[in-house]
Structure 1
Amino acid sequence: MSQLGKRFSCGNSRGWIKWEGTLPTGRNSELQKWYGVEWDESERGKHSGVYKEKQIFQCSKKNGCSFLKPSKANFGQDLFTVLNKRYLKPENFDELSTVKIGKSVVPVSILGDNSFLDQWIPCDELTNIIVSAECICSVKDPMEIQSKYPKIETVDLSCNLFTNWKQIEDVLLCFPMLKSLNISGNVFEHALKSKIEPNTKLKHLSVCGVGLQINEMELLLESLPNLEEIEATHNQITKINVSKIALYEKLTHLDLTNNSISNWSDISCLSKLPLLESLNLNHNKLQKISLINNDNKNNKIDIKINNNKNGCNKNTEYEKENENENENENENEKGKEKEKEKGKGNKKENEIGFKKLQYFSCSNNLITDIESIFVLNKLPNLINLEFRGNNIPQINNEIPERFVIIASIPNLQKLNGSIIRKRERIDSEILLIDTLGKRFPRYDELIQIRGVKDNLKKAKTRKTIVKISLIHKDTTIKKKIPLKLKVKKLKFIFLKLFKISPENQILTYHNKKFQVNLDNDNYDLNYYGLQDNDSIVVNSKN
């Protein structure tokens, strides 16, 4: 039976059979049967379908193919078989078990509590099923699965050998109570062309790395109208169609990490979603975050920032105007009355949206515009932000990105996974208004909150150098450390003090309330928010 065009598994890797035939690889050039395969992971391949400089089969990925012996290819099994193997109680299970030692099978008596029986749950009581990477390629007897596993609410079928969406329809048929489904890592031979069988129970869907395009996601949303959470990472999504935004209105969580979104305008319609609380856009190609707010359309200022790449200064425009500020303030006061008289149409134009967004992640994009940080202050409920790897230039070559973000977003509670402390926020805000003055968007607000301007310079100096304790075992050394110092250079200080080589050091920053591992050599100490009288402990890996 030909296996051409089928999915297969070999160890932990999966791929497609692109060719089958014989090659003169045996002794005396004897012909032997081989499969020409294309791997899902290109790095698993060895060539592009070439044998002895002859093109045997075509490969869509450069050097993503190899030849495989038929005995090493696993073409899978059906879902029912896998479920019964994993979740059915063995018929002859008793107090006696066996262990294979070499070529002998030795009976072993189980003492104490029987851990299997303690944990075993009858099939008709199971609610969660995890059968990830089990080489499942088909769904036989959906009704029999439904009768034997009637209460299943969560199913993980990731990294199996499904190849078409009809099989996913059968999965939904197997589990009528299903609320969460993970089919990530299954590669479908053909794109979804029409809606699948409707399902109103499903709330969470994970379709990561399945080659999904936006029209397919829209068909899934039409078929699964009550979805609240979608994880669609590592796909081929480039935009969200404005005309279809109503399909997304029940979403609370959307993860589009590692897609091909390059313009904020292509996904700006997500701001209209009334329930969206979490949005992840990591590893896309965004160059700017541009929330619409017509109130600030004509207001500009110039802030000198330093470009980290070449060390030269450049001018960047931000919201607000420095010229004729008093006149503008008076005009704005008068303008407020006129704005109130305008109808609902203008209100919609000025709305920023994202009313319920609490978590936003936009790391490792191509953002270099610091205005993209300032504008996040417009999000009314944003409390948790991930914003790494975007090469935002430092203001005046001295203010790190973390300080700018904290000072710009007053409601933010957590940044890049670490809690923002009250002291860190105060110092960040004082530093920004001292450096930028009235050009900083929150200047007037912060002057009222933080009070006397005369203390600004003093606060700035305090944050340039901190006096901390360097600790190893019972030895403590107090030292003044510049906050611009990178972790990798700090390790050399520990080398001199305690004779521990940098590669063997484990550094931990200790504060009165928490401790954090200094695990990235390229981060400044500024990033971790070190303060006077804090301490860094070094331990040896050995």
Structure 2
Amino acid sequence: MVGAMPVNLIPKFCNGTMDSHNGTDDSEIQVHIGSRVKCNADFGTVKYIGEVHGYKGVWYGVEWDDPVRGKHDGSVDDVHYFKTSKPGAGSFIRPNKIAPFKTCAEAIKKYYGDREDETVAAHRRTIINEWKREMGAPFIEMVGFEKIHQKQKFDRLLEVCVHDQNIAKPGDVAALCPGVRSLDVSRNLFCNWREVIQLSAQLPRLSELDVNKNRMAIDMPEETLAQLSINFANLEKINISVCDYEWADILALSHLWPKLNEMIAAYNRIKIIIPPSVTLRTLTVLKLDGNPLDRWSEILNLGSLKNLKVLSLNDCLFSEIRFSENPDDKVDIFQKLEVLFLNRNRINDWRSLSELNKLNGLKKLYFLKNPIQETEDYDTGSQLVIAKIETLQELNGSTITRELRRGAEYDYMKRYGAEWKLAQKDPAAQRAFNLEHCRFSDLVSSKYYSW
């Protein structure tokens, strides 16, 4: 493939010394230490292949993604075979119990080949019959017609979804559907990023990739990943949610994606955020929903993303938002941030909403089901949010009209006006009030309101 790094330059992946077939006809796909396997509806990682004392034959020692599926930590009858990362997440299964592996190419052929539109098929048969009549040869066979039709059908594929198809290897996708621009291979059995790189290397036009719910090892240094980025030259959007990654893993992988605009990395293990230094510079949309981020200070480390416009932090764990201890500050981070999602966090003070006024251009805010909202009815709480954030144009999907803003700000000033006047007599009280109500002094001096 012109421009892409040859697949043979990607070092072969080997995590174990004993390989075993999983019972399929495809002799190229083998089970090894580190393989991802599926048994019924449960996914796991192979940690051991071999005999178990007292039991005949070969067994796979598996650590299950859902620890409830397991029975032990890798030990049987006081003999230790492997170690699980979570207590009780391991068990042994026979090789014939796992689902057969597929290549991505096989899955595409099966899924899209079986979805032949009957109307199209009937139309094709009509055309063939007309040809036969015109040629006066009703018994002639159209040799190769079906094969050509199938190839043309796959060649036209631009968006491909082969979710949950037991895919472990790429296969020859380039010969099947080289024009694919959007590919969903979520919830499959890739065990290493080498497989995904080999897959992307065959799709030069790929701009959107969904690999969520694949737990894949990263065993290459950042320098190698950067060299392999040529295989993702046009990738603009990626979904790596539910991949069991920390932020350091995502930063390492980001060397693969030089032109990335949107990244969804929800429901991983991101707790600490390291400021990106040389990657993610083109990122405009970042979704980190459902990660155990319990400190707003970690979010501040994303402020260096100069082009970030949309940040989604739903279902995280932080309880307050703080930018600085100066109520008059406008922060010099998140310069282009316009849309912020904060639903279902643990925010329990109204000052956190005042802090958002320190952003330079926040236009849309989604703020639902936080503890502080239980202190007010929805309409009153919404008025407080609107009054506290000057640049806000939309709250929870509803447009903030000029009249709505004027009413919210007026009610806000009536509610806290007496407290503000009292605070003017004491510098400490004044500072505390201004921190809690960053906009209040500006509203007081506004030409629209008189005191």
What residue in structure 2 maps to residue 134 of structure 1?
165
2:163 corresponds to which letter in structure 1?
S
The reply on whether 1:76 has 2:108 as its aligned counterpart is no
What residue in structure 1 maps to residue 285 of structure 2?
253
Query: Deviation at 1:228?
Result: 0.8
Gaps of at least 5 residues in structure 1 are: 97-119, 298-318, 321-348, 454-542
Q: Deviations over 1:348-407 (max 9, x none)?
A: x96433232121122344433432110112223322212334423877999964332122
Q: Determine which structure has greater relative contact order: mean sequence separation of CA pairs < 8 Å that are 6+ residues apart, divided by chain length.
A: 2
Q: Deviations over 1:330-352 (max 9, x none)?
A: xxxxxxxxxxxxxxxxxxx9643
Query: Deviation at 1:188?
Result: 1.7
The 8 Å contact of residues 204 and 233 in structure 2, kept in 1 or not, is answered as no
Q: 1:69 to 1:396 in 2, by over 3 A?
A: closer
Query: Deviation at 1:57?
Result: 5.0
Q: Deviations over 1:446-467 (max 9, x none)?
A: 45476467xxxxxxxxxxxxxx
Q: Deviations over 1:89-148 (max 9, x none)?
A: 899x8559xxxxxxxxxxxxxxxxxxxxxxx9722221111111110001234xxx2243
Q: Identity rate of aligned residues, in percent?
A: 27
Q: Which of the residues 422, 434, 441 maps onto 2:414?
A: 434
> For 1:15-34, what aligned pairs fall within 5 Å after superposition?
15-19=44-48
What residue in structure 1 maps to residue 249 of structure 2?
216
Other structure's SS at 1:123 match: helix
CA distance in 2, matches of 1:236, 1:413: 33
Other structure's SS at 1:82 match: helix
CA distance in 2, matches of 1:79, 1:365: 38
Other structure's SS at 1:353 match: coil
CA distance in 2, matches of 1:180, 1:45: 35
CA distance in 2, matches of 1:280, 1:183: 19
The reply on whether 1:40 has 2:65 as its aligned counterpart is yes
Other structure's SS at 2:250 match: helix
- The count of aligned residue pairs is 371
Q: 1:396 to 1:277 in 2, by over 3 A?
A: closer
The reply on whether 1:174 has 2:171 as its aligned counterpart is no
What residue in structure 1 maps to residue 385 of structure 2?
405
Gaps of at least 5 residues in structure 2 are: 1-18, 21-30, 124-150, 421-432
The 8 Å contact of residues 355 and 438 in structure 2, kept in 1 or not, is answered as no
Q: Which of the residues 159, 172, 185 maps onto 1:157?
A: 185
Other structure's SS at 2:266 match: coil
CA distance in 1, matches of 2:211, 2:345: 26
The reply on whether 1:122 has 2:153 as its aligned counterpart is yes
Query: Deviation at 1:220?
Result: 2.8
2:383 corresponds to which letter in structure 1?
F
The 8 Å contact of residues 146 and 176 in structure 1, kept in 2 or not, is answered as no
Higher mean C-alpha displacement, 404-413 vs 126-135: 404-413
What residue in structure 2 maps to residue 187 of structure 1?
215
CA distance in 1, matches of 2:377, 2:342: 23
Higher mean C-alpha displacement, 442-451 vs 426-435: 442-451
Q: Deviations over 1:123-181 (max 9, x none)?
A: 2221111111110001234xxx2243121111111111111111111011110111111
Q: Deviations over 1:50-100 (max 9, x none)?
A: 668987753322333344454331141111211222234899x8559xxxx
The 8 Å contact of residues 7 and 75 in structure 1, kept in 2 or not, is answered as no
CA distance in 2, matches of 1:134, 1:397: 47
2:41 corresponds to which letter in structure 1?
N
What residue in structure 2 maps to residue 363 of structure 1?
343
CA distance in 2, matches of 1:450, 1:46: 69
CA distance in 1, matches of 2:330, 2:115: 64
CA distance in 1, matches of 2:361, 2:184: 32
What residue in structure 1 maps to residue 39 of structure 2?
10
The 8 Å contact of residues 44 and 64 in structure 1, kept in 2 or not, is answered as yes
2:438 corresponds to which letter in structure 1?
P
The 8 Å contact of residues 352 and 378 in structure 1, kept in 2 or not, is answered as no
CA distance in 1, matches of 2:291, 2:115: 44
1:245 corresponds to which letter in structure 2?
S
- RMSD across aligned positions (CA): 3.8
2:178 corresponds to which letter in structure 1?
P
CA distance in 2, matches of 1:12, 1:152: 29
CA distance in 1, matches of 2:353, 2:346: 13
CA distance in 2, matches of 1:230, 1:397: 35
The 8 Å contact of residues 357 and 382 in structure 1, kept in 2 or not, is answered as yes
Other structure's SS at 2:46 match: strand
The reply on whether 1:290 has 2:322 as its aligned counterpart is yes
What residue in structure 2 maps to residue 443 of structure 1?
440
1:38 corresponds to which letter in structure 2?
E
The 8 Å contact of residues 394 and 400 in structure 1, kept in 2 or not, is answered as no
The 8 Å contact of residues 288 and 314 in structure 2, kept in 1 or not, is answered as yes
Q: Deviations over 1:303-346 (max 9, x none)?
A: xxxxxxxxxxxxxxxx48xxxxxxxxxxxxxxxxxxxxxxxxxx
What residue in structure 2 maps to residue 470 of structure 1?
none
TM-score by length of 1: 0.59
The 8 Å contact of residues 245 and 269 in structure 1, kept in 2 or not, is answered as no
Other structure's SS at 1:129 match: strand
CA distance in 2, matches of 1:130, 1:369: 43
Higher strand share: 1
The reply on whether 1:60 has 2:85 as its aligned counterpart is yes
What residue in structure 1 maps to residue 28 of structure 2?
none
